[in-house]
Structure 1
Amino acid sequence: MKKIIIIYVYTVFSFLYASNLEFYENSYAVLIGINNYASDDIKDLGYAVEDAESIANLLISKLGYNEENIHLLLNEDATQINIKNTLYQIAMEAGENDRILVFYGGHGKTIPLPSGGEVGYLLPVDGKRENLYSSGLSMQEFKQISEMTSAKHVLYLVDVCYGGIMTVATRSLAKNDFNDDEKYLTKITTEAARQIITAGGKGDKAQERAIWGHSAFTKELLSGIEDGLADSDQDGYITSNELGIYLSKKVYITSEENQTPVNGR
């Protein structure tokens, strides 16, 4: 089996599958997918649940995750309190040599602030548009979770379009600083890092279609990893630059120019 290694170089973040390299003691995932919202004024989605389930399968088959460490919160289980409790549980459980992946597929909204800037919210299944502060999930809460955990690496994949996404601490490390690929991989997987990738920017419209069976973002994410398409130089691992460029181009085309993924770094 060809090894698949995904490395988010800009933040020294790595997600990988490799038979001969072990960089993590444990790998955790919280995967949230909401098709059917409780509130009548929130439009239901068609494939957010399928997106979350497909990512779970990808984590197990390609990225070395144990099924018992993957927490799926789908539809009625994806309440605000369940999401918060699960994130907190995993954040506290993860050790300093562990990694956490959080995927969210559903609705989100960006609110402008009177003082300037904006704040993004994700809508849990019981969320209400008219009161996002008390019923939604602020992106700042996700930032707090990433700061509370001892986990070495935390990655957020947010299948929602935002203008101002959560900012996280970043570091950078150039591959040409090392002559040996394995030393390079070991170095970057030793450094603590947090990363976020959203499905698009402000004003973008996240797309999903029956012919895909997924959203545009998740469709191209799965293809980029499963088929190695995001590995532009075919060297066996995917940097965040490669993945970002791949998703930006592919999702932009697939969505018919409606969305372009954004990296937070």
Structure 2
Amino acid sequence: MNSLEYKKIALLIGVSEYGADIPPLSSALNDVAAMERVLQNPNLGNFTQVERLLNPDTVVMRMAIQKLFRNASQEDLLLLFFSGHGITNDDNHLYLATRNTSKEDFEATAVDANFIQTQSNYCYSKRQVLILDACYSGAFANGWHKKSVGVDIKKQLGAEGRVVLTSSSATQTSFAQEGATLSLYTQYLVEGIETGAADTDNDGNIHVQELHAYAKTKVQAVKPNMTPDIILDKEGYNILLAYAPRNPETEYRKLVEQYAQNGQLKNVAILVLTAKRKTLGITDTKAEEIETEVLEPFRRRLANLQNYKQHFAEEVEQKYPLDAHTLKILKDYQQDVLGLRDEDVESIELEITSVKEAEYQKQLQIQKQREVEALQRQREAQAAEQLRLQQEAEVLQRQRDAKAAKQLRLQEKAEVLQQLRYIRYKTGMGCSEGFQEAKRSLKRTNRQRKN
């Protein structure tokens, strides 16, 4: 189809400033500028009309979207690009935030996804591309709900002949790049077109699914936990979005992409590439620049891994085992800031905790041994105390027995004296005879008592 037979129209919306309690997005306006650059280029996007809409309020944004879809003819290719905050309500319904959207009343002051779908449905164009580089849950705003798990982008924005590209799946937030000019997803959309790297089948054309696949691969090389998504149907699958540049740099880049593995180029690959530089007439400086760009996502991922390792090690050094509060913060940092999966950091955590765990287990064993020894000493002390009490009881019993025996002797002596007096009184016996008779009488009395 000749480009004169139809129009290619793009509306690029970037929102970097918001109402109360919504944080700014520094990259949104840069995203729009970068997309405009590649879409307007006659050798790349070759779009007939590209309109920029920067920090609009809700009414202006709705009017611009309505105009985009209302004025299109059947053969026109429409592209709606949005870079900014995407917000969901408790029913998981999507809203695109504008300059006057605030935290407390976003449903009234943001653009409802249903509005976009309605305008799209009434549009004559059968080729529509929607690109959303947005965080769905508004997680950057402190205290916002994170209930974006059930956002059904296909239901809310999908239709025949329409393609929807999203920077993250419905269960995630998009990741802002600290200190970067562009947001992560847009960066690689632009790179895929501008360098021709997204033309994976080398036919000179960049179709929408090729561009998304390229950007997704690059995004996940940096942040594996981020999963850009694409919703399309049979009609939307082959939408031609841009043309791929054909030049020596593009060919060299594709070779580097082909040879790069986990962010590295093998020595033999470098030898091949060095030879190709001469064949393609590329300077060493330009070739090294291309290699750096291709390997950059892997190096950034490595930097993210190093950052996680550093902070994880600091927390472990301060306190081990880590408590639930610290683990929650580290998990949020890992997933929401660095975009790393659990399997990406598993070996890092194991490396750091293995030494600490051995020390911890050793301390536990020492503590356990000390507790056992303390318990043994306690038991021995209790046994010694019991023995002491038993010995004291025995001594006391012997004292009581001795006292009882003494009392018995005294009683017997008293009874003998009493008997002696009685015998002497009755018989007039002498002292010696009376004493012997008293003893005999006492013995008889004792025998009678025993019987």
Give TM-score, length-normalised by structure 1: 0.74
**Range that drifts further, 47-56 or 125-134:** 125-134
Paired amino acid for 1:109: I
Which of 192, 201, 210 aligns to 1:224? It is 192
What is the SS of the residue equivalent to 1:219?
helix
Equivalent residue of 1:200, what SS?
coil
Alpha-carbon separation, structure 2, partners of 1:201 and 1:24: 36
- Of 45, 57, 69, the residue aligned with 1:63 is 45
Quick one: which of 57, 63, 85 aligns to 1:107?
85
Which residue does 2:252 correspond to in 1? none
Aligned length: 214
Deviation at 1:40, TM superposition (A): 3.1
CA shift, 1:23, in A, is: 7.1
- How much identity, in percent, do the aligned residues show? 26
2:174 corresponds to = 206
Q: Which has the higher helix share?
A: 2
- Equivalent residues of 1:31, 1:103 under 8 A apart: yes
Aligned residue identity for 1:53: A
1:51 alignment counterpart: 31
Task: Please give the per-residue CA displacement for 1:70-114, whole angstroms capped at 9, x wherever unaligned.
Answer: 221112xx111001111112222111221211111111112342x
Most deviating of 40-49 and 210-219: 210-219
1:7 paired residue number:
none
Deviations 1:172-200, CA, capped at 9 Å, x for gaps: xxxxxxxxxxxxxxxxxxxxx11111110
SS of equivalent to 1:213: coil
Could you say if the C-alpha distance between residues 240 and 130 of structure 1 is closer, same or farther in structure 2, counting changes exceeding 3 Å? same
Unaligned segments of structure 2, at least 5 residues: 137-150, 233-451
- Give the aligned residue type for 1:101: L
Where does residue 390 of structure 2 map in the other structure?
Answer: none
RCO higher in 1 or 2 (8 Å CA, sep ≥ 6)?
1
Counterparts in 2 of 1:245-260, with a 5 A limit? 245-254=213-222, 256-260=223-227
Question: Considering only aligned residues, what root-mean-square deviation do their CA atoms show, in Å?
Answer: 2.0
**Given the alignment, which residue of 20, 40, 43 partners 2:20?**
40
Matching residue's letter, 2:193: I
1:141 to 82, 98, 115: 115
1:232–1:242 CA contact under 8 A, matched in 2: yes
In 1, Cα distance between the equivalents of 2:33 and 2:97? 19
Written as runs of structure 1 = structure 2, the 5 A alignment for 1:110-121 is: 110-113=88-91, 118-121=92-95
Aligned 1:20-35 pairs, distance under 5 A: 21-22=2-3, 24-35=5-16
> 1:164 maps to which residue?
152
1:95 aligns with 2:73: yes
Match for residue 106 of structure 2 among 113, 129, 132:
132
In the TM superposition, what is the alpha-carbon distance from 1:121 to its structure 2 partner? Answer: 1.0
Deviation at 1:120, TM superposition (A): 0.9
Q: 1:239 to 1:98 in 2, by over 3 A?
A: closer
Matches within 5 A, 1:4-15: none
Q: 2:229 is aligned with what amino acid?
A: V
Moved more, 236-245 or 147-156: 236-245
Q: Structure 1 counterpart of 2:13, which letter?
A: I
Give how far 1:211 is off: 5.1
Amino acid at match of 2:213: I
Unaligned runs of 5+ in 1: 1-19, 171-192
The separation in 2 between residues aligned to 1:72 and 1:154, in whole angstroms, is 18
